[in-house]
Amino acid sequence: MNSTTVPARPDGAETSGQRIQRRLIGAATAGMVIGCVAVGFVSDGPTAWGLLPIVLYTLLCLWGVNILLATVAALLSAFAILQPSPLDAATVLTDGLADNVTAIGLISVLGAGLGEVLRTTGVASLLVRGVMRVMGEKSGIAVIIGMMAASLITVAMLGTVGGSLAIIAPILIPIAARMGITRATIAVIFLYAGCAGLALGPFAGSNIAIMEAAEVSYGQYLLHGAIPLALLSVTVGYFIILWVQKRSFADQDFYSEAETVGDEPPPAVRSRFATGVFVAGLVAFIAYAMMNEASTALPLLALPSIALLTALAAGQSLTATVTHFCRGAGAYVHLFLLFWMLATMFALIDRIDPFTPIFDAFGGQLSATSPFAFSVLVGLVGLIGVPGASAAVVVLVDQVFGDAAAATGISPAAWIVVLLFASKGDTYGPFPNPNMVTCMGMARYDRLRFMLLSGWMLLIPAALMYTAILFFIT
């Protein structure tokens, strides 16, 4: 969604256009924050102006501002409207640390720590190689299917596209390159299979946010939302991938000879035992979560526990395990800060209470709106108009539209579909997004226009599928 950003100079220095754009964005942000201060002085009681922080957050993300900076600006504007005392402000920030929204960010951090432990113990490499060995490496078709399966499984286990692909790409690319599979094909494989895995991940932050918002179990989430998207991604996506391979093969879009070597040596024997421990631990926690309809709290225990058991099974010392876990988690600590600030901002907005005057003015019209039309509209608004990390989009859409959805009679199953499409649909388009660019980077592919076309080719059938699902369940 950074299409408005002025292109950078080749030497990395800021251009005059970028400098002007940065200053304009800064001036507009300062103007909105000052406007929020004025709103705080003149308003008394609930006011629809309390939505200004969310509007500012959305605009800054659309303008390509770093999402953490956008959140800081939105949080400051919320404080400006409410104008609490320093002690009250500190209390709200402290309460935010215990909020479920903040827990989602912490889960993402812990998942990254687990991913680093899997990499250093050789478990990730062993799992990827095992999938490729089962699928076979004797033909291009078999390798493509194997790469899709390996990408889907790894992303589903770790709950992150970037962290998972960073582990498996160095293993998969040399295998694929030797079979004549092109850069474009691998980039699209990573996109389709990675997004399918992200939708299925039991500990992915965005999925936990959806389950929390819709108040459903993991099994219900899979049935109504994730499984249809995953099936579409791997079935329809498979035929699109074959078309991409045929077209890019004719364009000679191959890896260099140097890139066809360098995959890692086979894992040691202890890695095989550690892999068994990891899989057993993961399955046990998922089964427990499904049987007990566990809340957001369970992954906070599951992720570090699985990491510790896996590392000990691989023969790692406790010191090395903590070092690896913290190194992986540290790369994603910004997500914890992001969700902590979002939780605080939403708590402030709840105090301002902007929705009461809105419902007083439009409540009758909302109750008269059909659940189907409302669901489709919110899904499209989330897809196009609410940028940011997937879990943040879920939280934002639920915060803004959750009460209205309840008023129009939206069922939990329909709300799952709405939140899933709103938060994950933009991975396929309609604009460039972090997951898409990550897939391109890991595949060493640089044709964004063709990548966007590939995303659109799956986004359109996904939109039609979810529209049909909503038609029958609303």
Kindly calculate the radius of gyration of the chain based on its CA atoms and give it in whole angstroms.
23
Q: Residue 320 has what pLDDT?
A: 92
Separation between Cα atoms, residue 155 and residue 111, nearest integer Å: 11
Q: Residue 3 has what pLDDT?
A: 40
pLDDT tops 70 at residue 362 = no
Q: Residue 356 has what pLDDT?
A: 73
pLDDT tops 80 at residue 468 = yes
Where does residue 64 rank: exposed (0-12), middle (13-18), buried (19+ CB within 10 A)? Answer: middle
Separation between Cα atoms, residue 122 and residue 27, nearest integer Å: 50
Helix (H) or strand (E) holding 349: helix 333-352
Q: What is the DSSP string of 165-211?
A: HHHHHHHHHHHHHHTT--HHHHHHHHHHHHHHHHHH-TT-HHHHHHH
Decide which of 57 and 145 is more confident.
145
Residue 264: pLDDT band by 50, 70, 90 thresholds? low
Q: What is the largest CA-CA distance in the chain?
A: 72
The percentage of the chain sitting over the pLDDT mark of 70, rounded to a whole number, equals 90
User: Do 163 and 110 contact (CB within 8 A), yes or no?
Assistant: no
pLDDT tops 60 at residue 180 = yes
Q: Annotate 286-306 with b (16+ C-beta within 10 A) or e (fewer).
A: beebeeeebbbebbeebbbeb
Q: What is the mean pLDDT of the chain?
A: 84
Tokens, residue 33: 């924050």
Over residues 404-433, mean pLDDT: 86
Residue 427: pLDDT band by 50, 70, 90 thresholds? confident
User: Do 136 and 110 contact (CB within 8 A), yes or no?
Assistant: no
CB count in 10 Å sphere of residue 281: 18
At 38, give phi and psi (nearest 5°).
-65, -40
- For residue 432, the one-letter residue type is P
pLDDT tops 80 at residue 389 = no
Q: Residue 233 has what pLDDT?
A: 93
Helices 100-121, 390-407: crossing angle, 10 deg rounding: 150
Helices 269-292, 100-121: crossing angle, 10 deg rounding: 160
Where does residue 188 rank: exposed (0-12), middle (13-18), buried (19+ CB within 10 A)? Answer: buried
List, for residues 291-342, the tens digit of each pLDDT value: 776 666 788 888 899 999 999 999 999 999 999 999 988 888 888 898 899 8
Contacts 24+ apart (CB under 8 A), 431-438: 431/1, 431/3, 432/1, 432/2, 432/3, 433/1, 434/162, 434/389, 435/161, 435/162, 435/191, 435/194, 435/195, 435/198, 436/191, 438/161, 438/162, 438/165
Over residues 15-33, mean pLDDT: 82
Decide which of 152 and 174 is more confident.
152
Separation between Cα atoms, residue 355 and residue 50, nearest integer Å: 8
Q: Residue 5 has what pLDDT?
A: 42
> In this structure, is the dihedral angle defined by the CA atoms of residues 157, 160, 163 and 165, taken in order, positive or negative?
positive
Decide which of 176 and 223 is more confident.
223
Tokens, residue 123: 């478990």
